[in-house]
Amino acid sequence: MAVMRINIGPVHPSTHGVLRLVVDVDGDMIKRVEPHIGFLHRGVEKLMETRMYMQSPSYLEKLDYISPLSWDELYVASVEKALGAEVKQDAQVARVVMLEFQRIANHLLWLGTFCNDMGNLFTIFMWAFRERSKVLKFLEETTGGRMFYVNIRVGGLNRPLPANFADEAHGLCDYLEEKIAGYGDLIEKSSIFMERTKGVGRLSKADAVAYGAAGPVLRASGIEEDARKSKPYYIYDKIDFIVPTGYRGDTYDRYKVRYIEMQQSIKIIRQALGMLKGNDVVGAPIRLIGPQAKPDTVLLSRELPKGEGIVYMVPDKQRPYRISLRSPAFINLSLLPKLAEGSKFADLFPIFGSLDIVLGEVDR
């Protein structure tokens, strides 16, 4: 049978953004997938070279707009490394709490849209957004912004924590734990979900390493690599949590890894709240001149919700001379041609959805 070429996107409800896929199909089987990116490119790295250090976090947050706080924190941490600045103890704990809530919010949104892609689980979309709005409300009370926070500052946070921070966080943890446990029942008893995910889009261990896969995609293939464990930062080395891994490397494992990560995040938040001593979190004033002790280069990595993100920066006096960002979403997108090849056309979007990419971060 002749090969037919199908164009999907750049505006398509299932591509979760502005992505164009050119798919060659032979009957129902995919021969080749070619992603075309760049529809959201706006030159973030170049713009950041013209901004002073603490003007840039707003740009960083718009990279991964599903979990803005994580890129914000990664960038400010690299500025702190350039400055040689210490982070206050309470601020470290508060950052960990907020980052883990951000991870939960990210995975909830991913779960909702992924289940929506499956066809019959719009209920989960509604539920996930209900829980996500609770998390956003908590972060809004803490930071002042609903979606973009710009709350991390050199040495600490932008504003002091609210008085009922710990109580609210504990209450939210209890709420989320109960609700997330309920998702599992609904999802894993759905035969449509299980048949469309189990054994679909398998990624072997060797391929995951060869393609440089990041985050839950890498862990679902059976490699226990998490920057929170392997290069612990802040208080992660004092916290007891597991890094979930899969062994089949299929779409179901990628779902399960993220699902367990949400539960582990709740565990981390509870332990971190126990270490919160006071409310001494506010960092240095925002009029920051520039690195006094200037190292040649700064290279820093953090475990973002989507994988390991890296900032490579050449600091200068007032602003970075050059900054380069390693985006986990971009690298995971490069796996799509490999995973989708040979599978059925209907499996393309479960595979694509399981990679959890954000086009704002892919295109930069």
Partner 1 sequence: MANDLPYSVQEFMNSEKEMSKLTQMASKKYRMPLNAVFTKLSDATRAIASGTVNWGRRNSLWPMQFGLSCCAIEFMDFGASRIDSDRRGFLMFRGTPRQCDVMIVAGWVTKSMVPRVKRLYEQMAKPSYVVSFGECATSGGPWWESYNIIKGIDQVLPVDVYVAGCPPRPENLFNALMMLQQKIGGEAVRSSERSVSEDLHKPEIEGLRLP
Given the rule CB under 8 A, which of 4-12, 237-245, 288-296, 299-307 is the region that contacts partner 1?
4-12
Instruction: Identify the residue among 7, 50, 279, 324 touching partner 1 (CB under 8 A).
Output: 50
Given the rule CB under 8 A, which of 24-32, 60-68, 91-99, 228-236 is the region that contacts partner 1?
60-68
Q: Which two tokens stand for residue 241?
A: 């949590």
What sign has the CA pseudo-torsion 193, 194, 200, 205?
positive
- Judge contact between 125 and 259, C-beta under 8 A: no
Taking the C-alpha atoms of residue 356 and residue 346, their distance in angstroms, rounded to an integer, is 18
318 Cβ contact partners less than 8 Å away, ≥ 6 residues apart: 52, 53, 289, 290
- Angle separating helix axes 165-188 and 251-274, nearest 10 degrees: 160
Binding pattern to partner 1, positions 98-127, x when CB under 8 A?
Answer: -----------x--xx-----------xxx
* Binding of partner 1 by 285 (CB under 8 A): no
* Binding of partner 1 by 286 (CB under 8 A): no
Identify which of residues 59 and 352 has a Cβ nearer to partner 1 in the complex.
Answer: 59
Task: Give the nearest distance from C-beta 145 to partner 1 in angstroms.
Answer: 9
Identify which of residues 65 and 211 has a Cβ nearer to partner 1 in the complex.
Answer: 65
* Binding of partner 1 by 148 (CB under 8 A): yes
Task: Give the nearest distance from C-beta 23 to partner 1 in angstroms.
Answer: 17
Task: Give the nearest distance from C-beta 26 to partner 1 in angstroms.
Answer: 26
Identify which of residues 10 and 199 has a Cβ nearer to partner 1 in the complex.
Answer: 10
Strand partners, 6: 23
Name residue, tokens 């490999």.
Answer: 338
Triad 136, 140, 143: Cα angle to 5°: 130
- H or E stretch including 126? helix 122-143
* Binding of partner 1 by 11 (CB under 8 A): yes
**Phi, psi values for residue 136, rounded to 5°:** -65, -35
Taking the C-alpha atoms of residue 307 and residue 304, their distance in angstroms, rounded to an integer, is 5
Identify which of residues 89 and 133 has a Cβ nearer to partner 1 in the complex.
Answer: 133
Taking the C-alpha atoms of residue 119 and residue 113, their distance in angstroms, rounded to an integer, is 10
Binding site for partner 1 (CB under 8 A): 10-13, 17-18, 38-43, 46-47, 50, 58-59, 62, 65-66, 109, 112-113, 125-127, 129-130, 132-133, 146-148, 359-360
